[in-house]
Chains A and B, each alone.
Chain A
Amino acid sequence: MRFERAHHHTWRKIKSGLVSTIAFVSALLVIAPLGLVFFHLLVNGAGSVNWDFFTKLPAPVGAAGGGMVNAIVGTLELLALAGAIGIPVGVLGGIYLAEYGSARINSILRFLADVLNGIPSITWGVVVYGLVVLRFKGFSAYAGGLALSLIMIPLILRTTEEVVLLVPNGYREAALALGVSRWKTIVHIVMKTASKGIITGILLALARVGGETAPLLFTAFGNRFWNHSLSQPIAALPLQIFTYAISPYDDWHRQAWAGALVLVTGVFCVNVIVRVLTRGRAASVV
């Protein structure tokens, strides 16, 4: 009897260990694609990331060499346009949720923002095509920037709200007690205290939309040359990678890998910066 119970107990322990092992293997499988993608990006892309890549326009089909400088600059321009709309709207909207809104209104707005975050990014492309491209009869940097900004708004709104709520109430009370008006308290005290968190949210949103391709396909459209006016089609790094990847040319495939390596490096750099920033935040706010 006693032996049996002990035996049973051992079996239960073995089972527990077994399940832990399975869970560990699952975790490895989940992160395996990260390692594989990174490995192949380095193997296939590193050779083509050179000075030309950052300084030259794409070479014509058949000609070797060339670069993606127009796409890199294009992506930065699109991000600037997107940020010009998305950052103020998202940050101020988040401030409203954290500082003014009633619980009822907030829950509705928060709900809608979360739903918007779940909408496929290609939908924004279609919507902006209808709103801007059809109306103004042409693909443009403006349309691409707008599409990206609409994706940013709910993202930034939610992160801003979250970090602003972390600011201790004592800060607000202290400012108000000194006779500072409410909105000045918010701008000078609350937003300043939460600035690291707000910037983190903005950077993450920029990194996210910077890698977006789908909403740019029929808004920014892509361009093999320099963009000379924001009302003209403009190149973007993700778009260029897509075009090159599905092309039949080996030269272009190499360029696609190089572009992908550069894009991923950019996105990861932002993520690392964010991690460093948030590490500081935990100490300063709480």
Chain B
Amino acid sequence: MAVAASMAVEERSAQTRMALPSRFGEKAFEWLTLAMALAVVVLVILIGWQLWHGSSLAIRKFGFHFLTTSTWDPVAEQFGALPFIYGTLVSSLIALLIAVPLSIATAAYLTELAPLWIRQPLVSLIEMLAAIPSVILGLWGIFVMIPWLREYPFPLLKRFLGWTPFFTGPIYGPSMLAGGIIIAIMILPIITSFSREILRSVPDLQREAAYALGATRWEATRIAVLSYAKKGLFGAVILGLGRALGETMAVTMVIGNTPQIAASLFQPGYTLASVIANEFTEATTDIYLQALFEIGLVLFGVTILVNLLAQLLLRTITTTSATRAVQ
């Protein structure tokens, strides 16, 4: 008994002797990593606070009218963000109309329909497309895409769809439509990669059941895979929308940068991100700068909501992250 007790005491003292210095290192390291991990919390708060703080004067001066008026006149110090909100929404919508069917079809091809040997090379190429910097796509947009659009597709659209208000008026080249197309190119690889992850997470039992019932490849894809993954695919699309709304350089270079609200997609437009990119360093008065900060706040608010929604939709589907594929 006594021996056991003394051994226990000895052991404990030995333990404390050995443990004390290393326990400090242990805690210090854990806290250090925790502090670094908390950086993401700090960053979210920092952005919100900085944008709010930087635009407080403008928010007080213009109030809610900032979002609903369309005069953007730095000289008269009148600022309304409506043309930019409109331009952002319309260009993103065009981008989604082009990118969503293509991306989901490609994702379905990559996971369900394509011969096995072609899948990995295609995935690599799509990842390469995602890696092209925005400014380079913009350069290509200015000097290659726009002249081509002006020459062939735009006149065709005007000829056949000119009776709608969307394809009327003079064709300049830099336009809302060109902006939408360049955004589509930027979000294609993103939506494709995420959709592919989603489709891959569909259990094989689904497919096997469909094939057992005698379904063809496409029928199995449609009934067993696509409809099963509907929610996740919607999440991937929303995520693409988030990227589309904030896309800056390439759009700025091709959209024409004119703050107006025009029905025709041949007319130049302007987006929230573009006006910040173009006018931030030119903002000579405090209120001008404040108005641009407020535009940043609006953009941040919208993208964070869209991203929250996308993450919620994606999270329920797949726990393994699809974020690595494309950033």
Residues of A within 8 A of B (CB): 12-13, 15-16, 19-20, 22-24, 26-27, 29-31, 33-34, 36-37, 40-41, 44, 88-97, 99-101, 109-127, 129-131, 150, 153-155, 157-159, 162, 181-184, 186-187, 204-205, 207-208, 210-214, 217-218, 221, 238, 241-242, 245-246, 253, 256-257, 260, 263-264, 267-268, 271, 275
Q: For residue B274, which residue of chain A has the nearest CB?
A: A122
| Minimum distance in angstroms from B174 CB to a CB of chain A | 11
> Which size bracket describes the interface of B in this complex?
35 or more
Of B41, B108, B248, B300, which one neighbours A23 at CB under 8 angstroms?
Answer: B108
Q: Give A16 to B135 CA distance when docked, in angstroms.
A: 40
B residues near A125, Cβ cutoff 8 Å: 276, 280
The total of Cβ contacts below 8 Å across the A-B interface reads 284
Q: By the criterion CB–CB under 8 Å, are B41 and A131 in contact?
A: no
Q: For residue A105, which residue of chain B has the nearest CB?
A: B37
A residues near B321, Cβ cutoff 8 Å: 110, 114, 158, 162
Q: A93-B40, A109-B41, A183-B26 are in contact. Are A16 and B219 (CB under 8 A)?
A: yes
B residues near A15, Cβ cutoff 8 Å: 216, 218
Q: Give A268 to B129 CA distance when docked, in angstroms.
A: 10
Of B36, B101, B122, B134, which one neighbours A88 at CB under 8 angstroms?
Answer: B36
Q: Give A226 to B26 CA distance when docked, in angstroms.
A: 46
Please name 6 pairs of A and B residues whose Cβ atoms are closer than 8 Å in the assembled complex, sorted by A.
Answer: A93-B38, A109-B37, A183-B28, A211-B133, A218-B280, A271-B131
| Minimum distance in angstroms from B198 CB to a CB of chain A | 15
- Within 8 Å of chain A (Cβ to Cβ): is B277? yes
| Minimum distance in angstroms from B183 CB to a CB of chain A | 12
Q: By the criterion CB–CB under 8 Å, are A162 and B324 in contact?
A: yes
Main secondary structure on A side of the interface with B: helix
B residues near A117, Cβ cutoff 8 Å: 323, 327
Q: By the criterion CB–CB under 8 Å, are B34 and A263 in contact?
A: no
A residues near B40, Cβ cutoff 8 Å: 93, 109, 112-113, 116, 153-154, 157
Q: Give A19 to B217 CA distance when docked, in angstroms.
A: 9
Q: By the criterion CB–CB under 8 Å, are A120 and B273 in contact?
A: yes
B residues near A41, Cβ cutoff 8 Å: 136, 140
Q: Give A242 to B139 CA distance when docked, in angstroms.
A: 8
Q: By the criterion CB–CB under 8 Å, are B308 and A115 in contact?
A: yes
Q: Give A95 to B30 CA distance when docked, in angstroms.
A: 9
Q: By the criterion CB–CB under 8 Å, are B50 and A101 in contact?
A: no
Q: For residue B34, which residue of chain A has the nearest CB?
A: A96
Q: For residue A242, which residue of chain B has the nearest CB?
A: B135
Of A90, A129, A267, which one neighbours B133 at CB under 8 angstroms?
Answer: A267
Q: For residue A181, which residue of chain B has the nearest CB?
A: B22
B residues near A129, Cβ cutoff 8 Å: 280
10 closest pairs, A vs B, by CB? A120-B246, A211-B133, A96-B33, A23-B109, A183-B29, A26-B105, A118-B307, A16-B216, A16-B218, A92-B36
Q: Give A249 to B109 CA distance when docked, in angstroms.
A: 44
Q: Give A208 to B253 CA distance when docked, in angstroms.
A: 20
Q: Give A75 to B185 CA distance when docked, in angstroms.
A: 26
Q: By the criterion CB–CB under 8 Å, are A100 and B30 in contact?
A: yes
| Minimum distance in angstroms from B7 CB to a CB of chain A | 19
Mark out the residues of chain B between 235 and 273 whose CB falls within 8 Å of any chain A CB in the assembled complex: 239, 242-243, 245-249, 253, 273
- Within 8 Å of chain A (Cβ to Cβ): is B8? no
Q: A27-B105, A30-B106 are in contact. List 9 more A-B contacts (CB 8 A).
A: A23-B105, A101-B37, A112-B44, A120-B245, A153-B40, A158-B324, A182-B26, A211-B131, A246-B253
